[in-house]
Each structure stands twice: as C-alpha cells, then as structure tokens.
Amino acid sequence: MSLKIVFRPVNKDSKEGYLKVRVIENRKSKFVSLGIKLHESFWLEGKQRVSNKEIRHEVINKKIEDVLKTLSAYDNDVQVLQSNNKTILEFYQDIIDTTINEGTKLKYINIQLKLRNYFNSINLHDLKFKHLDSKKVQEFYKFIIDSGNAIDTANYNMKAFKALINKAKKAGHVRYANDPFANLQLKFSEKKLKALTTDEVKRIINTRFAERRKHHYNRRFRVNELTLREVANVFLFQLFTQGLRCSDVQFLRWRNFKFENGKMYLEYTMYKTKKGMKVSLSYIALKMIELQVIRFMPQAEDEIYSLNQLDENYAEDIYKIYSKYIEQLSLSEQRNSFVFHFFNPNDFAEFKDKEIGVLNNLQYKRLTGTRAWYNKLLKDIQEQCKISINLTSHVARHTYSQLLIENDVNLQDVSHSLGHMHISTTQTYIARLPSKNIDRFNEVFSQQFTS
C-alpha cells in the first residue's frame, strides 16, 4: 500500500479544488477526501504540503500529517508517503559534487564508500530512498562496526548518514511515514579520553630536548628548521589557551591578539564550528610564543631574555613585556602573518584581514599535511619526556578539560571555555563537574606550572 496527497479541482476550469489522499493497494486506487478546499497555487506537490502563503497552512499541514500517520498505522509495511526514483548513492554523489568545503567533501566520500560496500554485501548495486527502512539502517550500523571501525567512528558515520537522509527529505525526494532511524540505538564507547597529568605537563615545560633539528614541512617558509622546544611550545600554547584546537593554532595570526584594559586576549573564530571565541591569556601562555615574537621582532630579544624565567615573581613584568611587543605585532604590517610555522604567508592570501573561510583542495591538503607533521614531532617529545599516553595535538584539549573537572568548574563554564555549540556536546565530552569563573581558573591553572 502507498499513500499520496493529491489536489483535485472542483471542475476542469476551476482553480479551486480539494485535497485528497490517494491510496494504492493491490494496484487499485481509491481517494479519501480531507475536506480541505483551497486554491491550486497554494498546493506544493513536491513537498506534499500547503504553502505558508495560505493563511491556514499550519492547521492544514498538521491535519495532513495526522491523517497520513493514522492511515499508515493500519499497515506495518508502510514506510514511504511520497518518493521519486532517486537512489541514495546518486544523491550522495550530487551532494559531493556541489560541496565546496574539502573536509566536508571527504567526509561524504568516506561514508558513500561505506554505503557502497554495505550494499555490495547484500548484493545490491544501490538503493532507492523508498526502500530504506529501519532494518537496513540497523544493518548498516552493524556493518560499519563489524568492518573494524571504532564505536565512535560508527556513531559519527550514522549521524552523517541521517543528516544526508534529512537533506533528501528537504529536497523532496522522499517522505517517510515512519522514521527509518527511529529504532536505531547508538552504542557508547567505554574508552576514556586520555589526558596528561600535571607532572607530565611540567616535564614538557622543563625538559631540555636533545638537539634534533627538524626540517619544516613547508620549505618555502623563511624558517626551515625547528627545535623540539619550539614544537613543545606550540602544544603548551594550545593547553594554556583553553585547549585550542589544532586547526585554530595553525591558523592563528597576530591580528587575533587584542589588548584591553591592561589584559591580553585571543579573539578568533573557530575553524571547525565558526563560533567566535575570546580567551584571556596568562603570562605563561604568552611566554610560549616568545620565540615567535623574537622571530618577528628581533629587537625584542634582549628585553625578553632579561626576565626569561618561569617564576611567578616575574609574572607581571613578563606579562607587560610580551603584551607590549605582541600588541605592536597585532597592529603592524605583520598582523596577517601566521604566528607559528605551519604555513607560507601566501598560502591563504585571499583571507587577508578576514577570518579563514572555505578552503580549496590545495589549502585543505596543506592544513592536514602540516597537522600530520606536527603530530609526528610530538612523538619525539612524548619519548623524551617519558609520557605514557600517545601524545597528539588534541591531547592538549583533553588535558585542559580534565583539569577543569579536577578544579570543580561547572558544566556551563566548561562548555563555554571549550567553545562547544551545545551543552549536550560537553556532557558527552566530559562526565561529572560542579564552579568557578574560567578567567580565574586560567590564572590559577598557570600558577601550577611556575617554579
């Protein structure tokens, strides 16, 4: 049995008509009137709904939903209210072809491949939207897990797949009486987020790394070699700036530093979520970019090294010196230069004086390539500091989160400090918590790592 709403004019010359439910069962059609009369211009055939230009559209559309659900309840096999012949893989390809963001495109390609492999496993080349049901959704989820993917990866893939089906519904390709995802229950990983201890953070700060010169990923940049101390400072800067994401530290420019009322802040738009952030900077956070300040302003070296000590007794003086030079950089011709050595200054020239936007293919490869290079160097730091966990750029974020928990910071403040769009994201990211102001915490947090 299939159901569809149709518009039937009062007579062949009339623009007025009635909405009826067409029921096809055993190749026979019958029509059930909804008792709704309206002008044909208000009926949206593709969407199976009344236009919002019709003053009664909310009431009418609600009635349509109720009637269809009632009728479909009499037949457990009824899933589709309306559909065309579009297939899932075809639609996925359409989405991929029109997606500009390279990261999003790769995500779609990855899930499309998994869907293709799943269809092949059940001897299908493709699947029409109208044939997608609860059973196939659950089978696909099991297929992803059984293929060796982690639970978190499988959950991520299913959420992305559901988002695609929602796009298809909005595009008018299908309408389901019963949501095929309604019975899907995602599993949750028992794996704990790995974070550094306070002692391990101190080791990264204080270790004198073996002098292994590291060739920079981007040889076109004027600094072609880095010490592990410089790499370690990038990681520590992430940690002391509220768990700054790797992409955000990569894209950090001097223009992102703001000086207000004697206090230095980092103001930036998160690359991942496009959410604006404002982070207060402690003196230890500023110290982690001392080599970058000197590189861009060599004349600052003598004054900076005159107080080059991680001692809270020097905190105020250190803060003033760094703030002075960083403020100058943020207002100078260097304001659009990247703080760290991930990119050539011209790699993202179109984003001069504005936030980083949609990346082209080459830019995206440079973003992911330099991130991989950075994480590879962190393995050397892990080894020399005798750190027990796998040290990656994201561990800085986990560590900051863990220290928030240990200091009883409340959930709302944690969510704000991490830049999460929704509290629910924070709740799954961390578990328990109870209250302090984030700026105050950042100050106390920094003091744990002074001599």
157 to 107, 162, 315, 328, 357: CA distances (angstroms)? 9, 9, 47, 46, 25
181 to 80, 119, 121, 162, 248: CA distances (angstroms)? 13, 18, 21, 7, 34
219 to 83, 350, 393, 401: CA distances (angstroms)? 54, 21, 22, 35
**pLDDT tens readout for residues 335-392:** 999 999 898 878 898 998 888 888 888 898 899 999 999 999 999 999 999 998 999 9
The whole-number pLDDT of residue 84 equals 63
Instruction: Tell me the C-alpha distance between 109 and 107, whole Å.
Output: 6
The whole-number pLDDT of residue 39 equals 92
The whole-number pLDDT of residue 414 equals 53
3-state secondary structure of 98: helix
The whole-number pLDDT of residue 172 equals 83
CA-closest candidate to residue 258, choices 353, 315, 331, 320: 331
**Taking the model in full, what pTM does it have?**
0.67
CA-closest candidate to residue 39, choices 18, 20, 21: 18
CA-closest candidate to residue 6, choices 72, 80, 38: 38
3-state secondary structure of 186: coil
Q: CB-side exposure of 435: number of CA atoms within 13 Å?
A: 1
CB 347, CB 363: distance < 8 Å = yes
Q: For tokens 């953070």, what's the residue?
A: 201
CA-closest candidate to residue 392, choices 282, 286, 230, 245: 245
Question: Which residue spans within 229-332 are E strands per DSSP?
Answer: 257-260, 263-269, 276-280
Phi–psi pair at 266, nearest 5 degrees: -110, 120
DSSP one-letter code for 9: E
Burial 363-389 (b: 16+ CB within 10 A, else e): bbebbbebbebbbebbebbbebbebee
Instruction: Tell me the C-alpha distance between 423 and 425, whole Å.
Output: 5
Instruction: Provide the β-strand partners of residue 22.
Output: 4, 31
Instruction: Tell me the C-alpha distance between 193 and 243, whole Å.
Output: 14
DSSP one-letter code for 32: E
3-state secondary structure of 253: strand
Degrees, nearest 5: CA angle 334-337-342: 155
Instruction: Tell me the C-alpha distance between 437 and 279, whole Å.
Output: 12
CB within 8 Å of 165: residues ≥ 6 apart: 129, 132, 174, 180, 181
CATH class as words, domain 198-447: mainly alpha
Here the tokens at position 176 are: 């389901």
Instruction: Provide the β-strand partners of residue 277.
Output: 268
CB 205, CB 236: distance < 8 Å = yes
CB 309, CB 451: distance < 8 Å = yes
Q: How far is CA 396 from the centre of its chain?
A: 17
Here the tokens at position 381 are: 């730091």
Length of the chain: 451
Amino acid at 19: L
Question: Within 10 A of 403 (CB to CB), how many other CB atoms are there?
Answer: 21
The whole-number pLDDT of residue 274 equals 86
Q: CB-side exposure of 425: number of CA atoms within 13 Å?
A: 12
The whole-number pLDDT of residue 89 equals 93
Amino acid at 173: H
Instruction: Provide the β-strand partners of residue 294.
Output: none
Which residue stretches of 122-227 are H helix? 134-146, 151-170, 198-206
Write out residues in the chain with pLDDT < 70, as ranges: 1, 25-26, 69-84, 189-193, 211-225, 307-314, 405-451
The whole-number pLDDT of residue 446 equals 64
